[in-house]
Amino acid sequence: MFKGLLLLCCLVAMNLGAFDAALACSSLRIKTEDGAVVYARTMEGAWTLKTALGIVPKGIAYQGTLPDGSSKGLKWIGKYGYVGMFDFGAPLVSDGMNEKGLIIGHLFFPNYVGYESYDPAKAADTIAQFEVGAFVLANFATVDEVRKGFASVRVCAGPVDPTVGPLPLHYVVHDASGDCIVIEHTGGKLTIYDNPLGVMTNSPGFDWMTTYLCNFGNLSAVNVPPRRLAGLTLNQYGQGSGMVGLPGDFSPPSRFVRMVALTQTAKPVLMPGSTWP
């Protein structure tokens, strides 16, 4: 049973031209008054992902893919079933939710990603970057379990499909309680960030995004009061003056700021069919 968390995905086709210009994704999480958690994301690109909705039962045997394309990596048996959006066919589940309400999203991370180097002696602990979603959904019930269990896994760059191109990815994970983390690989090292905001876009890395956010600490859902100067009173034009300065372009940092501002100021709502506690 998929409980306590709703998954929404939006695929948007944009005339952006080449593959490397179409790496745009935004994801967000909001919580309702009655404790439900809603996750949504966009995928904006000028190419088709050949996405198909799939259901994977528990008990499926997996084995990770190594950089040479062989299936001789990490082995596991799925503890949980899950539903997901599969791009270019299994096992690339770009977004999915398992029976415990755990969600993962793959988002593009160009120019900053740096996966762990491949070590043949650790092949049995290795998976490809496009298998992270399947690994997380099949094995873990909560974000805390992911934090603890992911540290022993090596994520390396898998083989590149010439029709698809490289897949520079980082990952956001949410659970039914609303807990959230971001998983990134840079410079050959794994970093897991707590993400209380529940928002994620693309590059640069998550730590840079939260630092950049400090430039917009003045944003507010409350209108700015009149400002009295020497001999002159400055009145605002109307509703929304507290959000003056909110970036409107589609760069990843601007999308990050915009999603944080909107989710943090949104009024909590009830899920359909729910009642006030």
H-run or E-run covering 137: helix 132-139
Beta bridge pairs of residue 174: 103, 180
Query: In this structure, how many other beta carbons lie within 10 angstroms of the beta carbon of residue 216?
Result: 17
Let me know how long the chain is: 277
Give the residue carrying structure tokens 């994970």: 173
CA-based torsion, 160, 162, 166, 172: positive or negative = negative
Two tokens at 230? 């020497």
Q: How far separated are the first and last CA of the chain, in Å rounded?
A: 23
Task: Spot the catalytic one: 25, 156, 180, 214.
Answer: 25
Based on the residue annotation, tell me whether 25 is a catalytic residue of this protein: yes
Distance CA 180, CA 274 (A): 24
Q: For residues 8 and 147, give the distance between their C-alpha atoms in angstroms, rounded to a whole number.
A: 24
Residues serving a catalytic function are 25
